[in-house]
Amino acid sequence: MVNSTQVPYFALSAYLDTGVFKYLYFMILMCLYILIMCANLLLIVIICMNRSLHEPMYIFLCSLFVNELYGSTGLFPMLLVQILSDIHTVSAPLCFLQIFCLYSYACVEFLNLAVMSYDRYLAICCPLQYNTRMTRNKITILIAVAWIYASVSCFIPISLSAPLQLCGNIINKVYCDNYSIVKLACYDTTVNNIYGLIATSLTILCPVCLIFYTYMRILKICFSGSKQTRQKAISTCVPHLASLLNFSFGACFEIMQSRFNMNNVPNMLRIFLSLYWLTCQPLFNPLLYGLNMSNIRKHICIGALSFLIL
């Protein structure tokens, strides 16, 4: 029985002995990480460099793409190191740092999607008041609140987990997870569990309820409006809902896997689904928004032509 502050490392036990195939997995994940970084950076640069895209919708998208870079960097470097390593251990401070990065990434993702749905609601349901209600100051406040709230709400469970007395140091994951550490505790963890339940509800249920409420209002306006209004609403709302459903699926499975016994699920499938919400969303969003939005597509084409001419 040792205090977690004295545990020098945690062992990640979900890694399989893949032999020489580990180099293949390393190359695949390295290529995926590079693709994610390049795709999100490209869209961030396009939005920042073109004044015509300095509108609320694109500014919120820029915040979303920055968050994808942040979350991917919290996962991939350590994941790549662990794949090549024969001993899958991580120091306690680095483990808690990864927990903070991944949890705050997930929190910002849901909050950013909720803010984007509110922006679309104002643009479609209150078009005459949109410019007065969605000002630069309000945009800044909404983005800042999302990031600050995520940082604070994710720091608290780590501060509750760090002093716990642990009876082991084995985490059955390929990355560090706070609830897995809580389950290693020797004594009662009621406070940790209560806070985890409250934080999960506020982080997931509240933004998702807000998103579905705003889109119910948007759909009501669309069906009572003209064909052009419906087409405009669909073109801007479908990518947003697809992104929400994609991320919610991965996050819900990860929560279920942490809370319930999933031993009947094949190990490879568990590993894939536990990584899904952290790997597919950062690649899914730039492809989804970049290919769907005509203004972004146009600037991508202009940039590509300029590069070829030079």
For the stretch 34-70, pLDDT in tens is 999 999 998 998 888 888 888 898 999 999 999 999 9
| Model pTM score | 0.89
The answer to whether 307 touches 60, Cβ cutoff 8 Å, is no
Q: How many domains does the chain have?
A: 1
In the predicted structure, residue 215 carries a pLDDT above the cut 70: yes
Strand, helix or coil for residue 3 = strand
Q: What is the DSSP letter of 76?
A: H
CATH number (domain holding residue 93): 1.20.1070.10
Half-sphere exposure of 280 (CA within 13 A, CB side): 16
Q: How far apart are alpha carbons 273 and 160 in whole angstroms?
A: 27
Six-digit token string for 9: 């490392």
For residue range 266-288, what is the model confidence (pLDDT) as tens digits? 777 888 888 888 898 999 898 88
* Structural domain containing residue 197: 2-309
Measured CA to CA, the distance from residue 218 to residue 203 in angstroms comes to: 23
Contacts of 62 (CB under 8 A, 6+ apart): 43, 44, 47, 48
2 or 289, higher pLDDT: 289
